[in-house]
Chain A
Amino acid sequence: MSTQMVSEPGVKASAASNRTGYRSFTLGSFNFSRDEYFVHVTWPAKGQVMTHTVSADAFLRAMMRDVAWGFFYGWVNLDDVVGTRNLYGKVEMYAGRYSPAYSSKGLDLTETFETPQIMATFKAILDDWTNAGFDPFAAPAETGKEWVGNKNGHNREAIERQRQACKRMPGLPGDADLRTDENGFPINRAFADVPQDAPEVHAEPGFENEVHAMNLFAYLSRSDVTWNPSVSSVCGRSLCCPTTEEYILPIKHGNDRVEWFIQLSDEIDWVVEDKQTGAPRAKVKMKAGDVAAMPADIRHQGFSRKRSMLLVWENATPGLPEMYESGKLKPYPIEF
């Protein structure tokens, strides 16, 4: 028995800036600050202070996903330079590590943190830097421009949204609810034409509690977030995580396993890059009905000009990352 006690050190934050009202945050050797338009990340390297500047809306959208996904599987690149890697118990924060322009000159930095510490810091940053009226989960057309400017209140209702998950499938007794107007999930403006009927289930006697069906299109038409998969069926280690996408996936997800994408409606353009270097690997246009397997050695970012429906199929088998890293499994599921 080797229980690991994890500590929860306090978040290191400055006083609010007299000029902008925002606080600055320190995580290990990294420093995060923001102003009217930009987030600035700094880290030490070779006796100097490296600086990296990101538009504040893009940074908040990216960090929102990292927090909501609990650092997800593998790498969450907040952009081309900074990001996190989930070590499943600890989390790496890096700057420049997967950007050859930095790493080849020793100007990158990677530090490892207890998960509660980095999570608490990221949540505090989101809380302080997300102004009232700006929802980092929403498409730009559905939220305000209040991310611009000096500090102006909070939007905790948006950033603390409960992530939807199910034990087997939404709608089963004792499981997650289906989405309805009544429980706060109106049909999204882009999916007004999606039929809302429900499937009829006629089970053989004795199997009434073993058969279930739901209208997945109707369920997705009521999604209130973008680029935020929710678990909608669980079968062993097979997880179906459908989601609705609009504008740009705020992060570049570096896979630690193969992810299957099934485009359920409309289109998404994917930019696929080498996970380590960011070198271009492929551009993929997925139309409704297309299926793609994102390899385990890439990072990917999607672009959806109209809100679309995507089913992400995850293999949650423990130990998969090690099998890919050791070469026991190839990074792609089939060879042509």
Chain B
Amino acid sequence: MGWRAHRYAPAPGTLLCTVNSVDDGACKELRFGDGDGMLSLLLHRRGSEIRAYVNSCPHFSLPLNSRPDVFLLMAGSRIMCAWHCAVFGLDDGRCHEGPAQGMSLDCVAVEVRGDGIFVAEPSGTS
């Protein structure tokens, strides 16, 4: 099931946040919905580039952070899941080390327009 099928998934064109609200080199968590069924997204900024993923480690399907909006970043644009130490590259979302090795974070397509970060249209649509 892709993230767009999630009941709280933001629609294409939704403004997620401003670029400047994500510190360069850092991550930011965005939550949609409430409770256990909420959708958590992870934004990472490197210069003018923004990467977005569903904030769910494919090892135990847990968020990558154990505390709200606090992420464990490592050198080389990598992030470590706070629960069981899976390490993912933030450039491509792939797990290179730890219990989710060979698996990937679900990528969320976003686009930057002006100072805003928006949910992109699904590929193949205009």
Report A's interface with B, CB cutoff 8 A: 1-6, 8, 68-72, 86, 88-89, 115-116, 119, 162-163, 165, 167-168, 231, 234, 236-237, 239, 314, 316-318
Q: Report the stretch among B8-16, B66-74, B109-117 that lies at the interface.
A: B66-74
Instruction: Point out which of A165, A168, A314, A317 has the most chain B C-beta atoms below 10 A from its C-beta.
Output: A165
Are B99 and A3 within 8 A (Cβ)? no
Interface residue from A6, A71, A318 paired with B66 (Cβ < 8 Å): A318
| Chain B interface residue number, banded | 35 or more
A-B contacts, 6 of them at CB < 8 A, read: A69-B99, A70-B99, A162-B101, A162-B102, A163-B99, A165-B58
User: Which residues of chain A are near B59, meaning CB under 8 Å?
Assistant: 70, 163, 165, 231
Are A116 and B60 within 8 A (Cβ)? no
Report B's interface with A, CB cutoff 8 A: 1, 21-23, 25-29, 36-37, 58-63, 66-67, 69-75, 80-86, 98-103
| In the complex with contacts A119-B85, A236-B36, A237-B36, A2-B69 CB distance below 8 A | yes
Are A69 and B69 within 8 A (Cβ)? no
| In the complex with contacts A3-B70, A68-B99, A71-B84, A318-B58 CB distance below 8 A | no
User: Which residues of chain A are near B74, meaning CB under 8 Å?
Assistant: 5-6, 8, 116
Are A239 and B61 within 8 A (Cβ)? yes
Cα(A262)–Cα(B77), bound, Å: 41
Cα(A235)–Cα(B15), bound, Å: 30
Interface residue from B1, B27, B83 paired with A88 (Cβ < 8 Å): B83
